[in-house]
Structure formats: structure tokens, C-alpha cells
Amino acid sequence: MYAIIEGGATPKGRVRVSGAKNSATRLLAAALLSDDTVELSNFPTRLVDVGHKIQFCQTLGADIRVDHESEHLTIQASALRAKLLSRDEFDVPIRTTYLLAAGQVIRSGLARVPYPGGCPIGGGSGGGRGYDLHMMVWRNLGANVTEREDHIEISAPDGFKGGAINFPISTVGGTENALLCASVADGRTEVHNAYITPEIEDLIALLRRMGAEITVSGTSHIVIDGRAGKLSGARMPVMTDRIEALTWVVYAILAKGEVTIDQVPFSPMQVPLLHIEHAGVDLLKNSQSIHVTPDCLRSGLVQPFELACGAHPGVISDMQAFYVMLGLAASGTSRIFDYRYPERIAFVSELAKLVDGDHLAAERGRITVKGPARFKAGVADSTDLRGSMAAVIAALCADGQSKILNVQMALRGYNDLSGKLSQLGARISIHED
């Protein structure tokens, strides 16, 4: 899949931030823990990742009804069962497949989940993230885990049992998996060195509405008193996407547009927005929106900066590419460090193809940006979700026609991307290969 972009248009108008990808797919997994109906509003129904996960859950027997117009999901998972599928059916291009284990185990005493897919940004075999910590979660909760040729098999005939989980590193996915499995386990589970992000707080909120007993102490200790079986039904909206909100802010700054961004989740974005303001951008804000105009640049250019990506509440790694973009509009040299995923630099060489001159340099854990730079039309490939979106923004800011290859990576994280860009006046079309 690729995008053809006619760049150079100045964005004007309003754009609404959708429900967060990194929350929505987790809430969908939590909904599988009940035989009752679970309804999720503000759900980003047009995300590529969401489509893949819904299709796989339906293959396992779940009844999921999608309303694209109202962005609403209705899940009834009483018929969900572990199934031995074909190799093609197990070939699901999403990273969070491990979250589908708990819903199967509570009904079948067994789960079969595809190997995690996703962005090749370092960590596991084949360049993708590993899944060893998920295997540890299942085993510590009493399951036997077997790695088959095309899937992982988790066997717990009597269900999960409460236990102790001590993560050697803080892990978002591991924490999510532990919450889901421990909520339906028999007995108490204590999770140490958990990573509690805003999206995980959203997951905890839904699990509590469904009847789970979860106590959070500090920023890394969670105690779950399991229900020893299925949870109840519930209704809840998905939190809005902090990474999408940041994306629109940066795009509007770079393109010198007049854009109002609605449904901004300000609470989890305090530090990321503070870095933008410290770079000389005077953001106009009310309780739920940000208005960006050329007048927001107090000196006419972004001021050079240095920042380090790490854990929430700071600038997380998924935001790194957008600060690289911001640095290209700065009047000097900016440096962006990433201590959590230091190998996340592949997108830089592709982004450079859309920048006029030598302005970008990357080495493990550090990206150096020499601004100000001009964007130019060209052809660039997508290396990961956020890197793909950075390339899309560069092409939108360049005069002329550009082609972004493998743009489905960006579509994994941005709900109705082409529709939202079009309503701002951008010219983009998505094509199948």
C-alpha cells in the first residue's frame, strides 16, 4: 500500500483526535473476558490494527459489531473458543496478539495465539519485540507454554492461578497481559516493576467496571484479586490518543497552518507539550483544544532543543519522530535521545529523502537535527508506524508530488487518516500495491 501526496497546501480547519490505538486494542482484549455485552465508545474503528484484531476475534467465535459512523464497538464473546487454525489464519500482523490468551483460557483451559507481529524496531527475533516476558506471565500464573511452529500454546486446564510477577524491566505489554490474566485468575497476583501508562490506566478502569479488584500502589506495584472466572459487562469510552494529538500539533507548526485540534488529552501530555513550548512555540489552549497558527512561533522559528525519550510522564519513544520533525524547523542544532529503544533510528534515512540538504544524522540512541531545513518532494519508504507518519508530514510540507511506500504502517495508528487530512485541505490518496 502506498500514498500519493500533492504537497504544499497550507492546512486549515479543525481535526478531532480519535480514541487511542494503544488503549482501544487492549480494551477490546479485556471485553473478551466477559460473557455479557461490553460496549466501547470513541473507538478508532478504522485503524488497520483494529481491523486485524477484530477479524481474528471473530474467527475465534466472538460477536463484534462495528459502527464506523458513531465510532462504537459492541462485543459479545460468550462463544469465543481456542481453535487450531491454519497457518494463514495465525499470520496476524499485529504486535499485541498475546493479549488474546486470557479470553480463551477462561473458556477452553487453553489458548492459541499468533506470534507477535508489529514494527521491526529492535528487541526480538527477526528485529521485532520479544515475547519472553509474556511467557513468564503465563507460567507464573500456572500455565504451561509451548512454542509451536506458527503459534504459541498456553495450557491451563483449571484456569490461571494467582502468583507473583516480577518484571526484570518495566514493560507496557507485560503489564497489560498480567492485568488481563490475573483479573480472571483464582487468587491474588502481585505485579512488581509494572509500567503504568495512561493507556494502562484506561485498561484498569475498564477491568474495574467489569468487576475486577485491582489496587495500584505508587507507579509500579499492582495487586489483583482475581475473580476465578469471567468478568461482567460494562460500557466505557476509549481515552483520546496523545500521540495523534502531538502529531497534529507538529504538522500544523511545520506547515504554518491554522488548525484547531479538538479532544486533546492534556493530562498525559503535560511534559511533551512543555517541551514544545520551551522550543518557542506559544500554543493557544482551552480545556479540550489546541489552536495552532503561524503566530504561535514567537521568533518566527522553532528554537533548537535537546530532549530524551523514555518513560511516561516524559516524552515516550513513540513521540520521538515528531520531535525530529520539529527540529527541522528550528534555528540551530537539536538532539533527540532515546534510551528506551535506541535502535529506533531506521526512519531517519528515509525521512532524509524528503529533506533538501544534509540535516539529519542518526546513531544508536541519538538523532541530530540541523535546522532550519526545507522539505522536498520524493519517494520514501515506511520503517515503522511513527516514522511512516513523519514521512507523510514531510511530503505534505514539500512542494510537488511525493510517494510514501508501505503507508499501511501509518494507517495502523491513525484513524481515518486520509479523511482527516483531506478536511484540512491536504491532498493525499491511498493506493493498493
Instruction: Report whether 373 contacts 359 (CB < 8 A).
Output: yes
Cβ atoms of 104 and 112 within 8 Å: the answer is yes
Per DSSP, the three-state class of 49 is: helix
Q: In what order do the strands lie in the sheet containing 164-166? A: 164-166, 188-192, 221-225, 213-217
**DSSP H/E element including 405:** strand 400-405
Cβ atoms of 356 and 375 within 8 Å: the answer is yes
Distance separating alpha carbons of residues 51 and 321, to the nearest angstrom: 25
Q: Bin 61: left if φ > 0, else alpha if -120 < ψ < 50, else beta.
A: left
Asked whether the beta carbons of 280 and 301 are under 8 A apart, the reply is yes
Closest CA to 196 of 359, 316, 284: 316
* Cα 203 from Cα 212, distance rounded (Å): 11
86: left (phi over 0), alpha (psi -120 to 50) or beta: beta
> CA 391 to CA 13: how far, in whole Å?
22
Task: Name the residue with cell 533527540.
Answer: 336
Helix, strand counts (H, E) of the chain: 14, 25
Nearest of 280, 277, 271 to residue 315 by alpha carbon: 271
Residue 89 CB neighbours (<10 A): 16
- Any catalytic annotation for residue 57? no
**DSSP H or E run through 75:** strand 72-76
Nine cell digits for residue 156: 491451563
Full strand arrangement of the beta sheet holding 234-237: 63-67, 72-76, 38-41, 234-237
SS3 sequence, 226-255? CCCCCECCEEEECCECHHHHHHHHHHHHHC
Alpha helices in 184-317 (DSSP H): 198-209, 242-254, 270-278
In this structure, the dihedral spanned by the alpha carbons of residues 345, 45, 272 and 282, taken in order and rounded to 10 degrees, is 120
Element at 135 (helix H, strand E):
helix 132-140
Single out the catalytic residue among 119, 181, 309, 397. Answer: 119
Write out the catalytic residue numbers: 119
